[in-house]
Structure 1
Amino acid sequence: MNKISPYLWLISFLSFFLSFSCLADTKVIHVLVALCDNKYQGIAPVPAAIGNGQDPKNNLYWGAAYGFKTYFAKQKEWQVIQVNKPKDGKILEEIIYKHQNQDVYLIAQAYDGKYIDDTVNDFIDYSAGKNSLSLSVDKKQINSGGNADLVVYIGHNALMETSSWRSYLPGSWRWITLSKTQQEKQKSRYAAVFACKSQKYFTPPLSHLGINPLILTLHRMAPEAYSIYAMINSWLDGESKDEIRLKVASAYSQYQKLSQPALHIFTTEYSQ
């Protein structure tokens, strides 16, 4: 039997260790966008061209000027790695981005506006650490979904509508029990909801699941991409929650042409 040189064994071990460490240090952000939909959502109607939830190309929250896809396409630090059309008909487009300066991947999914309840359900499941999704990117596996470091929901607050509560509550977060290991892992994960009055409606499930709130909202607002971009940048820079909130509020005020940072709209805490 041939003996393996101690040096070759050491080199192999170090290579494996380093590759594992690099993977462990990779950050993943998962963004779920419920496309704006005049027909299927209880919203104040917007112009038809941007309110078609089956047309991501022109949708207010995806393809319009401040929609996620269009806005992030102009941000040089985010490189598009893949554009997919998942087999699941609920998701009309999926984009995978890689940060140019950091080991960070961002998965953004545009959900058909008709399936906004499913979008919320998936967001809550991912926030609970359920349903990890494995993607092959840059010749390595990236775990998103329930294994993402930051999960973000963008769109109409479907939980404000009675029908959405009825469709969501049965067999959902109220019955999820996390083990001690899962509870510890949740402390290092974050969730954000860019939707009207999200603190009030999303506090029950998210606080129950033990995931950290990064940004929630207190009033009606426009969930456009400049605020999400500001939050992600500040979070990746390791800034405090107060600093993140200020950056988000400042970006919102800039684009909404308000006289001062909109701190009254954003919070980093659950409601009591």
Structure 2
Amino acid sequence: MLTVVLLSLLAVPPVEVEVFVPLCDNALLQCGRPPAGAPRALETNLYWGAMYGAERFLSRAPGFKMVSREPGPEGAAILRELVLERTAAKGERPVRLRLRAYAGDAIDTALEDFLRAAAGASRADLLVWAGHDRLMDREPPRVAAPPGATPRPVVVLACTSEQYFGPVLKTLGASPIALTRTLMAPEAYLLEALASTVARHGPTEPKAMRTALVEAYARYQRISLRSAGSVFSKLPPSEVALPGAVAPVSRSKP
């Protein structure tokens, strides 16, 4: 009994990752066949129920287990909330993913919720947007965080998110960990790579995150690492280790 109590006290809490997934909507972009772009069709939607959709892919991914799967209220913007946990290997932390499927025709609600969370309304360790870049179509909504809130680290998996989300996140005080520079597919193998990186390196390591996203994108899109690297934003100079660089020798006298 004492051993069980001690183990529970020593248990490492999971890293909490909150993922906002607005379903693909053929009224906003070309999602493919009509079922893939039906904005409230969870089982067939490109971003949720398709082969590389969030629920279908992650619920079958090795090392992930489903904790809960709850429908949203009838007629609400959130159609389903899915909680998955990634089992930690030696030297890793467990990761809990909370994914919210928003109706594609309620993407503006998803956007407001995401930006409000990024400003500090959420207490998750990392926030992720995975879907259409709605800011390509409209002006940013005005959001306000609760007084004293702490802005969160964020990843935005959407087309050219550096250009459209970057300035907005900066005004909110949020910390972008990974953004994109080109058109791209915000598919769930990127969420798998993200979760694995968080388990090994924590939620705020841009270099490790970018490397994992680039490698996953190259593998599943069947393109070169160089081509995949062009999709994701470059690291700031402080995060890039120059080959052969050495620390400068101090010339000051003691």
Contact 1:28 1:148 in 2 (8 A): yes
- Alpha-carbon distance in structure 2 between the residues aligned to 1:22 and 1:66: 32
Whether the 8 Å contact between 1:214 and 1:268 is mirrored in structure 2 is no
SS in 1 for 2:192: helix
Residue 69 of structure 2 is aligned with which of 78, 83, 106?
Answer: 83
Separation in 2 of the partners of 1:172 and 1:129?
Answer: 11
Which residue of the partner structure matches residue 57 of structure 1?
43
2:79 aligned to which of 89, 92, 97 = 92
1:221 paired to 2:184: yes
1:155 to 128, 131, 147: 131
| 3-state DSSP of counterpart to 1:61 | coil
Indicate conservation of the 8 Å contact 1:26/1:104, yes or no. Answer: yes
Q: Deviations over 1:93-149 (max 9, x none)?
A: 11111222244321111111000111111110111111xxxxxxxxxxxxxxx0111
SS in 2 for 1:128: helix
CA shift for structure 1 position 229 = 1.4
- Write the mapping of 1:17-36 to structure 2, written as runs, cut at 5 A: 25-36=13-24
Q: CA deviation at 1:228?
A: 2.1
For the 8 Å contact 1:178–1:209, the answer to whether it is kept is no
Describe the superposition over 1:199-237 as per-residue Cα deviations: whole angstroms up to 9, x where unpaired: 111112211222221211100011111122112211221
How many equivalent pairs are there?
224
Structure 1 letter corresponding to 2:96 = Y
Residue of structure 2 in register with 1:135 after alignment: none
Query: Equivalent of 1:112, from 100, 103, 106?
Result: 103
Amino acid of the structure 2 residue aligned with 1:81: V
- Correspondence for 1:198 among 149, 161, 166: 161
Larger strand share, 1 or 2:
1
What is aligned with 1:127?
Answer: 118
Matched letter for residue 73 of structure 1:
S
Would you say the 8 A contact 1:98–1:106 is kept in 2?
yes
Letter of the aligned partner of 1:38 in structure 2? Answer: N
CA distance in 2, matches of 1:210, 1:54: 32
Distance 1:200 1:147, change over 3 A: same
What is the CA distance between 1:85 and its match in structure 2? Answer: 0.6
How far has the Cα of 1:66 moved from its partner?
Answer: 0.5
Work out the CA distance in 2 between the residues paired with 1:108 and 1:77: 17
Distance 1:45 1:63, change over 3 A: closer
SS in 2 for 1:123: helix
* Matching of residue 245 in structure 1 with residue 210 in structure 2: yes
Give the TM-score normalised by structure 1. 0.75
Q: Which amino acid in the other structure matches residue 63 of structure 2?
A: E
Question: Which residue identity is paired with 1:226?
Answer: Y
- Moved runs in structure 1, 4+ residues, more than 6 A? none
* One-letter identity of the residue aligned with 2:210: R
The RMSD of aligned alpha carbons is 2.5
Q: Percent identity?
A: 30
